[in-house]
Amino acid sequence: MPLIRVEMFQGRTDDQKKAMAARVTDAFLETCGGTPESVTVIIEEKEARHWAVGGKLLSEK
């Protein structure tokens, strides 16, 4: 049973998250096979103040 974890910033709508989960599931099935019911997608939303790139918090940019 594949588990796909997606970490992203807060602020997307439920419709956007639903569409993303469907597309990620479809991509997995196209490349690896299986059934939609076997694919789990976990969405973890993060605040920009908890994410840094190049040593700088993204909330500072």
Tens-digit pLDDT profile for residues 27-58: 999 999 999 999 999 999 999 899 999 999 98
pLDDT for position 54: 94
Mean pLDDT of 10-36: 98
Mean pLDDT of 5-28: 97
Please name the fold of domain 3-60. Macrophage Migration Inhibitory Factor (3.30.429)
Q: Active-site positions?
A: 2
CA distance 15 to 18: 5
Q: Reply yes or no on whether the pLDDT at 61 is more than 90.
A: no
Domain parsing of the chain, residue ranges = 3-60
Question: pTM of the predicted model, to two decimals?
Answer: 0.85
Instruction: Note the pLDDT of residue 40.
Output: 98
Distance set, CA 29 to CA 26, 51, 55, 56 (Å): 5, 30, 36, 37
Residue 35 sits at φ, ψ, to 5 deg, of -125, 150
